[in-house]
Amino acid sequence: MDIIGICGSPRKQATEYVLKKALNTLEDEGYETEFFTVRGKDLSPCKHCDYCLKKKECINKDDMYTLYDLLPKAKGI
């Protein structure tokens, strides 16, 4: 994957629309893209527990793991 687009808005309106248009333009140019939205996802805030520093993973087992898997594969965000 070349580019991942991350939509941080909980609503399906302007931000998501514009991001998808941008990703479509990049696809037309030959880039492979992926879209990630927070809308409808189970996301927990950071607890600042330092678990990630010790274990190299987050203590919150939520939908962020989908994004965590995508980020290392992306050449751009």
Residue ranges of the domains in the chain? Answer: 3-73
Instruction: Note the pTM of the prediction, 2 decimals.
Output: 0.84
Give the residue with greater pLDDT, 1 vs 29: 29
Q: What is the 3-state secondary structure (H, E, C) of the chain?
A: CCEEEEECCCCCCHHHHHHHHHHHHHHHCCCCEEEEECCCCCCCCCCCCCHHHHHCCCCCCCCHHHHHHHHHHCCEC
> What is the reported pLDDT for 1?
80
pLDDT tens by residue, 15-50: 999 999 999 999 999 999 999 999 999 999 999 999
For residue 70, what pLDDT band results from cuts at 50, 70 and 90? very high
pLDDT, mean of residues 1-23? 94
